[in-house]
A and B are shown apart, each in its own frame.
Chain A
């Protein structure tokens, strides 16, 4: 059974960089045909897709976040990571990692991790 687990700092100061990692177990991130995404959900609000990466390193980002965003993959550790720079309070959210067949629907999700942007 595939499992995804987010980790990283739960508190980030305004203007700094948010960094999260998603560890994948029960399957290989190098398996073809899947993309690996970050999705976030502000408290009490809906879901926003952030971006995805393939095991090859190819990425596609939400245009609204693209200028601040870097998603990378470490195949040796079977994990992928998110960096979001110049954060503000609007970036406070539960951040999920998820898998999708190609760029389609999300069939496996991590449990989510709350990141709060505050001084």
Chain B
């Protein structure tokens, strides 16, 4: 059974700074990895799929990389609207989400 982990649990960043979020799978999921952003009281929003492809309408400051077991979501210059919880999800077999990383204001 695959286990997804994310680090750090909380990331404190100042607006305009770069944020780097990590997601790890306990076994290879190839590039079958998506990232979501969730704000309080809202449904998750798809940011990245295929490990590195931005979803429709997602700003270029969001980028994804990695394959196999190690993945990274980078937000190049944090805007006020980017403070949220970010989840990774593997879809190599049945869908499984990571526990999330909360990005808050430093």
* A positions within 8 Å CB-CB of B: 37, 39, 46-49, 60, 62-63, 96, 98, 100, 103-107, 109-112
Contact = CB atoms under 8 A, between A and B. Distances in A.
B58 to A, nearest CB: 11
Contacts of A63: 94
Interface string B3-46: 00000000000000000000000000000101010000011111
Nearest to B33: A105
B76 to A, nearest CB: 22
Nearest to A63: B94
Given A104-B49, A105-B89, A106-B44, A47 B97 contact: yes
Contacts, number: 53
A110 B42 CA distance: 9
Contacts of A104: 32, 34, 49, 91
B94 A60 contact: yes
Contacts of A111: 42-43
5 contacts: A46-B99, A48-B97, A49-B95, A105-B49, A112-B43
Contacts of A49: 94-97
Interface size grouping (class) on chain B:
20 to 34
The listed residue with most A CB atoms (<10 A of its CB), out of B36, B45, B95, B99, is B95
B2 interface: no
Given A104-B32, A106-B95, 12 more contacts: A46-B87, A46-B99, A103-B94, A103-B95, A104-B49, A104-B91, A105-B91, A106-B34, A106-B44, A109-B44, A109-B45, A110-B43
Contacts of B91: 100, 103-105
Closest 6 interchain pairs by CB? A105-B34, A109-B43, A49-B95, A47-B97, A105-B49, A104-B91
B94 A62 contact: yes
